Amino acid sequence: MNPLNLMKLSTQMASLMLDTQAVMTLRLMGMAGALPHARGENERMVNEKGPAMAKAYAAATKAAIGGGRPDQIMTAAMEPVSKKVRANRKRLTK
């Protein structure tokens, strides 16, 4: 694996972790009443996990079966989850 590929993967993981922490903080603050909380947000939070993880597993499996390198497999797995987390962060910060 090329060191630049590893650096790109690390950057993508860091971005996912930061966005995840932001979403978790915003949702917890909404549950605590410190921020406006959309009706149904708690159910949405639970219901989105299964489909997002299924997409991540499918993407990782497809990349692995296709002979992808470990960084390509991880990137493929993170992509669906990252999209969902990024969309949640944008929606919750409006």
How far apart CA 94 and CA 89 sit, in angstroms, is 9
Tell me the one-letter amino acid at 14: A
Q: What pLDDT was estimated at residue 16?
A: 97
Residue 55 in contact with residue 80, Cβ under 8 Å?
yes
Residue 48 in contact with residue 83, Cβ under 8 Å?
no
How is residue 83 written in tokens?
Answer: 């999209």
How is residue 54 written in tokens?
Answer: 């299924």
Whether 24 shows a pLDDT value over 90: the answer reads yes
Question: In the chain, what are the domain boundaries?
Answer: 52-94
How is residue 39 written in tokens?
Answer: 């009706």
Whether 48 shows a pLDDT value over 90: the answer reads yes
Q: What pLDDT was estimated at residue 1?
A: 75
Q: What pLDDT was estimated at residue 31?
A: 94
Q: What pLDDT was estimated at residue 81?
A: 96
